[in-house]
Structures are given as structure tokens and as C-alpha cells.
Structure 1
């Protein structure tokens, strides 16, 4: 793509930016620019541009508002100690977005164009990438929406792909302390043949009422079971699950109706290199509860781009609770440390995951 760039004439002042980067929170502040490219059947992808960040003007009849034809991604840019800026596995995000596009009948943005768009956008707004202190980073959000002005139900003939970014601190303010999970049996996240493997907003919207249920029971996150039998563990509202067994094995729920997380797949490779046998298979809720109670399962953790690796303290359900764990497990923290050390340039990237921006 030949991307045109129009720089803002009103960038955030250096003093204000320093304040933001010192305590960015998550998803509250946005960089000076955004990337946009549009698609239609006759022109294909056209007009790629980086412009000042600002509101979109959309007709009330725009298709995305009515039929939820949209997808998104999430990845991070990291500043290393030498001042250079790197991204973690953007090619994997590009390929996953292509898979999500196919599931929602959206046009596929070629992975090379996805990576180029993200790379050039981050390069323009590189001053927004915070230093590594406190595991800060720049969270990058590419997304694609149907922009037809039409109320009929059909695949969109006008589509817009955009990239915005927000500096981010640690997802959980307490740091990697064990979280409490609520097991919902009233709601499911996805069924066979559904959109569970696509990264689309509807999957997250469907998790919110269950998250409210979890919060009402004093829990941090909600756990979903499979929709067919309400027996097998799938994932949290926005994170994949891992189970560490006393003999060193690690098990994660198999793909199919869950999101193929980039952090999830990275941990499979990383844990294998660290000497663990990693299994992708069905794991029942009874195996989880009984295993933690008996000690056969020694650690449980969740993972995702935003939260990285988060230890699980206990699982609650209507009428019961697993034994509470007050500290993160040794294997959990070793995997977490190995991953973030690669991301922040403190360890050799033997996997070839890091992508230098500038």
C-alpha cells in the first residue's frame, strides 16, 4: 500500500503526554493519529491514509449498527531499553483477522497490508509508546466495520478498516495477583458452528451479563462452559485458560468454539521449550474442581493480550468453591516472566516473534 500521511496540527503537548504515560490506565487515552482504508467490490481496498485522530461520521442506517458485521484485533507495541519500538507477532494478528473476516463475510485485508498499516501507524505515533516500567505498552486496536447505508441483511459492499491506539498500563491494577472466577451455568459464550473462534464484538457483548453475575458474587471474571453439554471448560469473557498438573503437564482447552489467542499459542510453544508437555484437549469442569481439590492440578491461569498471564485463585459456583490460592504458582510466574522478557527485549527472541518498528 502507498499510505498517505497527514500529521495533526494539534498534537498532545509533551507535558500532558508525559502525565498520561506515567499513569495510562487502560483504553482511556488515544494517540494523535489513526489509520483508515476502505473497500468496495469495484475498487477493492483503496485510499489508505494516516490522519489526525477524530470522530467518524456515519449515517444512522449504517449496517454495522444494525447487524453487527464487525471484527477487531488487539496487539501491543513495546519500548525496549535502547529506545527502540517493537511489536509482538503482528503477522499472527493479521492472519487471525483474515479468518475472522471469512466467518463474518467481510473482505480479507491481505496480512502484509495489515502489518504495514500497523507498522507505519505506530511509527507515526511512536512518542506514545511508554517505557517498560510497570509493564506499560501501547495497545493497538485494528478493526473493520460494515459501512453500507442500507437496512437489508446481506454481506457488506462497503467496508472500512481502521487502526487506533491507546497507551496501557497493567490490565489488573493489583498486578499478577490471583483472581477469583465465577462459573456461570445460565449463559454460554458460543456454540458449534457459531462465531466463537472469530474476534468479533458480539462475542464480548454476550459475555457482559454473565460478567455482571460474576461481579455480583464478588468475582473478577466469569468462566463459560460449552453450549452443548455444559460440561467442558471453554474460556473466560476475554481470556484463554491453562491448567498446570502436579506432574508438570499443562492442559489448555482445544480450539473450535473458542478464540485462538495469540498469547495462548505463544504459551504453548514457550511452555514446551521450558520442558512442559502441553495438551490441547477437552477438560471438564469436574476435572478442574476435583483436580484442584485433590492437588492433581497445582496451578490455574488465564492469558490474553491485555492481561498477559493472570493466575487464578479460586473458582466459585452456586453452592461451592475450590480451595483458595493466595499466591501465583511457580510455573505460572515462570511462563509469564519468560513471555514478558521476550516482549520487552530482556531475553533472546528465539521464536522470531518480535517485529521491529523503529
Structure 2
């Protein structure tokens, strides 16, 4: 691989930055060896040396996270809910039998990689952010199927532009009745790398058929809604005759669905807005009852879903081409909290004066 150097901040076209990888000068790493986590190391190279028998390469001992840091209007930097990312990587590492980093270690590493690359945090007016990617892998060698005796936790950062550079647009999705995203009691509740590798064929086939994303059904019965591509799904129902006309925020819940931090945040904001929040199994037939549909995650926050096609009966569920009023309201509030423009009522942001 050709060695690259980080671009100088002054050479980056900040207003036309895409949502993709741009090298920054420093990444941080920490190894668990002999039963303990070592010191946090600062590295300038992009590559990682792994033993050819490392369990990450053979047995899938790998998981990752994604979170953002924002340069805000007041000049300060806000990191959104990194403690929740710490808890989720703990869950993933524990289930995959890797060493589990403490919340304190994880947050210290996030803070350090953001601080070391502070010159690469896009300015407030660009709408961009610094995306932080923590990765944990079994780095020790094994020839039998067993956990590694060494674990590597590393984090790098990349400046990214706004996900919607031309405004929010509804996507098309096709219900995948051929592939499952995860097994009923498998790794679906973790952010294991293998979950995403297993979804590539489904995504490619969906794109070849002309759809932006795929909607997975539950792997046990193919009766309930699971996830939409690599993101959590939600629907919004507004029935003037029920619950005093309160809108409902409805999202699937099962062991095979990743617990999205964005979804968790949106549910709390929905409650703050007086909406009825339902996290439960969602029948496929309920799509007929939703006024709005969307998927949510770190990258886009909310992606409106315009249409969902079911190849089983040729039916298309239509939710409109734009973003619905409730989805827009939830999106605007979450983004405002991330940028310090709305009250951080629940203490989600870590504020850095750098």
C-alpha cells in the first residue's frame, strides 16, 4: 500500500468535504496483554501489524463504533454521547470474548484522538464534523477456535462533511426475503464486524434492483421488521382519534437488532416532545399504519424512507418523497443538541475547550 501523509488543514476544501475517509495525523492505540490494559499509544502511521494467526483474521473477533465531535458556534468542541459508545463496545467485546475496556479508558482515548486532531474538526459553518472510529480486535495468535490472549483497541478520526449536502431526501427500500442480517440469538445485538460483512451481498443485490437500501425481517419468522440496511428503523403514526392525537414513535426491538445510540436519543427526544414511544416487535403489516418512516444512525442521524417494496406480493408502501414533519422536528432537535444550540437536558455532550 502506498504510504500517504495527512493533508494540511489549509489544503482541505472544507465546504465540499464528502462523507468519507480523510487521513488525520494521529491515531491512538491501547493493548491488553497479560491481563491488563497498557498505556495509550500515539501513532502517526495508518497501518496496523497483526500476527497472521490473529483471531480477528480467522474467527471474527472484531467490533467497532462510530461517533462524532462537533466544532460549535461558541468555538467549543462537543463529543456526542461517547459514554454510550463505550458501553456498547463493552457489550460487543464481552460477547465476542475480547478484553473489555473500561468506560474511562474508552472516553480518554476518544478525547485524546479528538484533541490531537483538533485542527481537522470542520468549522461550524461547514456543517461537518470529526468522525471517530474506535475498533477493537483480537490481536493475539491462536490456531484453535478460542479467544485471543491479546486485544487491541485503536481509534482514528476523519473529518466528514454533512451527510445531506443537498437536503434530506427519502430513500427507496426493498424487503429482503432471501437473506437474514443476523441469527435470532446471534451477534445482531453487537456491533461486530461480521454483521456488516454478512450484509454486503444483500445490499449489493438491492442496489442492482434499483433500491437504495434493504429492509430486513426478523430471522426467526420473517414476520416482524428488523433493521433497514445498517440502521435502526422507525415509523411514526399520528391518529387524531387516539391518545389525544399524540404522535407515536414506533421502533422494532429484538435481540437481533443493534441498540442504536441515535435511536435511543431520538426516543428520549420524542418523549420530551410528548410523543408516545413504543420500542417493541413491529409487525410488517403495520407499515400500512405509518404516516412517516425512516432509519437512523450516527452518519445521517435520520434518513427518511419514501417507499418500501415487498417482492412477496408486489406491494409498495409509500410515505412521501420528503422528510415528514415529526421526523424533521426530531432531527432538528438532535442536531441542535449536538451543536450546543439547544439545551442539553440529559447531559449527552462532553464539551472540550480546545
Unaligned 5+ segments in structure 1 are 1-9, 292-296
Task: Tell me what 2:25 maps to.
Answer: 32
Question: In 1, Cα distance between the equivalents of 2:6 and 2:309?
Answer: 47
**Aligned pairs (5 A) from 1:121-140:** 121-140=113-132
Task: Tell me what 2:242 maps to.
Answer: none
Task: Report how far residue 217 of structure 1 moved.
Answer: 1.8
Task: Tell me what 2:138 maps to.
Answer: 146
Task: Tell me what 1:334 maps to.
Answer: 329
Query: Against the structure 1 CA distance between its residues 268 and 324, is the aligned structure 2 distance closer, same or farther, given a 3 Å change threshold?
Result: closer
> 66, 72, 75: which one pairs with 1:80?
72
Question: In 2, Cα distance between the equivalents of 1:14 and 1:188?
Answer: 42
Question: In 2, Cα distance between the equivalents of 1:206 and 1:124?
Answer: 34
The answer as to whether partners of 1:31 and 1:53 remain within 8 angstroms in 2 is no
> 299, 304, 309: which one pairs with 2:292?
299
**Aligned pairs (5 A) from 1:315-326:** 315-318=308-311, 319-323=314-318, 325-326=320-321
Is 2:354 the counterpart of 1:355?
no
Deviation string 1:211-268 (CA, Å, 9 cap, x unpaired) is: 1121122111111000110010011221111111022111110142100000010011
Task: Tell me what 1:90 maps to.
Answer: 82
Task: Report how far residue 333 of structure 1 moved.
Answer: 0.2
Is 2:55 the counterpart of 1:63?
yes
Question: In 2, Cα distance between the equivalents of 1:47 and 1:27?
Answer: 30
Task: Tell me what 1:265 maps to.
Answer: 264
Is 2:16 the counterpart of 1:23?
yes
Task: Report how far residue 45 of structure 1 moved.
Answer: 0.5
Task: Report how far residue 30 of structure 1 moved.
Answer: 2.0
Question: In 2, Cα distance between the equivalents of 1:219 and 1:11?
Answer: 35
Question: In 2, Cα distance between the equivalents of 1:105 and 1:241?
Answer: 29
Question: In 2, Cα distance between the equivalents of 1:134 and 1:229?
Answer: 45
> 111, 122, 129: which one pairs with 1:119?
111
Question: In 1, Cα distance between the equivalents of 2:55 and 2:101?
Answer: 19
Task: Tell me what 2:244 maps to.
Answer: none
Question: In 1, Cα distance between the equivalents of 2:165 and 2:225?
Answer: 26
Is 2:306 the counterpart of 1:313?
yes
Task: Report how far residue 279 of structure 1 moved.
Answer: 0.6
Task: Tell me what 1:165 maps to.
Answer: 157
Task: Tell me what 2:210 maps to.
Answer: 218
TM-score by length of 2: 0.92
TM-score by length of 1: 0.91
The number of aligned residues is 340
The answer as to whether partners of 1:122 and 1:357 remain within 8 angstroms in 2 is no
Is 2:53 the counterpart of 1:54?
no
Question: In 2, Cα distance between the equivalents of 1:273 and 1:218?
Answer: 38
Task: Report how far residue 134 of structure 1 moved.
Answer: 4.9
Question: In 1, Cα distance between the equivalents of 2:138 and 2:164?
Answer: 32
The answer as to whether partners of 1:204 and 1:237 remain within 8 angstroms in 2 is no
Question: In 2, Cα distance between the equivalents of 1:11 and 1:235?
Answer: 36
The answer as to whether partners of 1:26 and 1:166 remain within 8 angstroms in 2 is no
Query: Against the structure 1 CA distance between its residues 172 and 213, is the aligned structure 2 distance closer, same or farther, given a 3 Å change threshold?
Result: farther
Root-mean-square deviation over aligned CA pairs: 1.5
Task: Tell me what 2:199 maps to.
Answer: 207
Is 2:248 the counterpart of 1:256?
no
Task: Report how far residue 307 of structure 1 moved.
Answer: 1.2
Question: In 2, Cα distance between the equivalents of 1:11 and 1:317?
Answer: 45
Partner SS state of residue 322, structure 1: strand
The answer as to whether partners of 2:113 and 2:157 remain within 8 angstroms in 1 is no
